[in-house]
Amino acid sequence: MNRAAVPGLPSPYPIGELLPALFADDDFAQRFTAGLDTVLAPVFATLDNLPAYFRPRLAPADFLDWLASWVAVETDPAWPLEVRRAVVERAVELHRWRGTRRGLAERLRLVLGAGVEIVDGGGATWTTDPGPVPSAAPSGEVLIRVWPLYGPAPDEGRVLSVVRAGFPVHLTCRVEILPGPPHPPGPAGRAED
């Protein structure tokens, strides 16, 4: 959207009406100031609506990317506009949980509209015996299972690009794209015979 030249946008403060009475009936002065009104009207409109520019749900699309840089959020131009708005709006929450299982799951749900299950392969080993060496260290690989909540299944490339933005660099991950939830919910409160 270009706010520089909006055809037919009236100025809230026409300069011709502010001139001394001597120029009120002067045709040239009125036409000249009307041209200035056309140039200044978008400036007044932007300043009058400035608070809306800082609200991600209302900001113009071209300003949204700049607003995202203010809150240190990376958005992909390939994402739909509403997804980019939601990511910028929830930036503080996403930063708070960045690098955690919850943060990664929220980001995948928000950006891809996908259900997520994260199986963490990391951990710590210990022993109560002072002599022997603890058993083999955990693999450090994280398994991320993703399935569509609505619409088509996300492709692996998009999932990996979202994961890389909020995944700890010292871990490795493997992504599985599933057609539906991995564990369908069973009947609540019933024991199987």
Q: Is residue 188 part of a domain?
A: no
Higher pLDDT, 1 or 130: 130
pLDDT of residue 186: 53
Q: Which residues of 131-161 are buried (b: 16+ CB within 10 A; e: fewer)?
A: eeeeeeeeeeebebbbbbeeeeebeeebbee
Q: Is residue 16 part of a domain?
A: no
Question: Could you tell me whether strands 172-177 and 141-148 are parallel, antiparallel, or unpaired per DSSP bridges?
Answer: parallel
pLDDT tens digit sequence for 149-164: 887 888 888 888 888 8
Q: Quick one: average pLDDT of 37-66?
A: 88
- What is the extent of the structural domain holding 109? 100-182
Q: Are residues 104 and 45 part of one domain?
A: no
Q: Is residue 85 part of a domain?
A: no
Q: Is residue 92 part of a domain?
A: no
Q: Are 176 and 144 in contact (CB under 8 A)?
A: yes
pLDDT of residue 193: 33
Q: Is residue 81 part of a domain?
A: no
Q: Are residues 178 and 104 part of one domain?
A: yes
Q: Is residue 158 part of a domain?
A: yes
Q: Are residues 105 and 43 part of one domain?
A: no
User: Coil, strand, or helix at residue 154?
Assistant: coil
Closest CA to 19 of 36, 33, 6, 39: 33
pTM above 0.75, yes or no: no
Q: Are residues 104 and 31 part of one domain?
A: no
Higher pLDDT, 2 or 103: 103
Asked if residue 189 has pLDDT above 50, the reply is no
pLDDT of residue 89: 93
Q: Write the CB contacts of 138 (distance below 8 Å, at least 6 apart in sequence).
A: 121, 122, 123, 124, 125
Q: Is residue 132 part of a domain?
A: yes
Q: Are residues 176 and 107 part of one domain?
A: yes
- Model confidence at 61, pLDDT cuts 50, 70, 90, reads confident
Q: Are residues 170 and 113 part of one domain?
A: yes
CA dist., res. 55 & res. 71, Å (int):
12
Q: Is residue 63 part of a domain?
A: no
Q: How many domains are contained in the chain? A: 2
